[in-house]
Structure 1
Amino acid sequence: MAFDFKKAYKEFYQAKKIQILNIPPINYVAVRGKGDPNEPNGAYQKAISKLYAISYTLKMSYKSDYKIKNFFEYVVPPLEGFWWQDNLSDVDYSKKYEFNFISLIRLPDFISEDDFKWAVKTASQKKKIDCSLVEFLNINEGLCVQTMHIGSYDEEPQTILKMKEFTNINGYEFDVNNVRKHHEIYLSDPRKVAKEKLKTIIRIPIKAK
Structure 2
Amino acid sequence: MSADLKLGSSRSAMQTYDIKKERKDLYSPKRGDFEIIDVPDLGFLMIDGHGDPNTSAAYRDAVAALYTASYAVRAATKARGERVHTVAPLEGLWSATDWEVFRTGDKDAWDWTMMIAQPDWVSSELVDEALAAARKKGLPALSLIRFERYAEGRSAQILHVGSYDDEGPTLARLHAEFLPAHGLVPTGLHHEIYLSDPRKTEPGKLKTILRQPVTSTA
TM-score, L = length of structure 1: 0.90
Greater C-alpha Rg:
2
Counterpart selection for 1:104 from 107, 112, 115: 115
Q: CA deviation at 1:174?
A: 2.0
CA, structure 1 residues 25+89, in 2 after alignment: closer, same or farther (shift >3 Å)?
farther
Kindly indicate whether residue 144 of structure 2 is the aligned counterpart of residue 129 of structure 1: no
* Aligned positions of 1:85-164 closer than 5 A: 85-88=96-99, 91-92=102-103, 94-125=105-136, 127-130=137-140, 131-164=142-175
Q: Kindly indicate whether residue 35 of structure 2 is the aligned counterpart of residue 19 of structure 1.
A: yes
Query: Are 1:2 and 1:74, in contact at CA under 8 Å, matched by a contact in 2?
Result: yes
CA contact (8 A) 2:196 2:207 kept: yes
Asked whether the 8 Å contact 1:27–1:136 carries over to 2, the reply is yes
Cα displacement string for residues 110-141 of structure 1 (whole angstroms, at most 9, x for unaligned residues): 1111111111111001x122322100011111
- Kindly indicate whether residue 56 of structure 2 is the aligned counterpart of residue 46 of structure 1: no
Work out the CA distance in 2 between the residues paired with 1:128 and 1:142: 37
Question: Which residue is 2:195 aligned to?
Answer: 187
Q: Deviations over 1:136-183 (max 9, x none)?
A: 0111111111000111111111111222212211111222xxxx2100
Among all aligned residue pairs of Structure 1 and Structure 2, give the percentage whose two residues are the same amino acid. Answer: 35
- Please give the root-mean-square deviation of Cα atoms over the aligned residues, in Å: 1.6
Unaligned stretches of 5+ residues in structure 2: 1-14
Deviations 1:25-59 (A, max 9, x none): 1100011111110116x111100110011100111
TM-score (norm 2): 0.86
User: Which structure's residues are more often helix, by fraction?
Assistant: 2
Distance in structure 1 (CA, Å) of the matches to 2:101 and 2:168: 9
Letter aligned with residue 133 of structure 1: L
Give the Å deviation of 1:5: 0.7
Question: Is 1:31–2:47 an aligned residue pair?
Answer: yes
Q: How many residues align?
A: 199
C-alpha separation between the residues in 2 aligned to 1:53 and 1:93?
A: 33
1:84 aligns with 2:95: yes
AA at the equivalent of 2:66? L
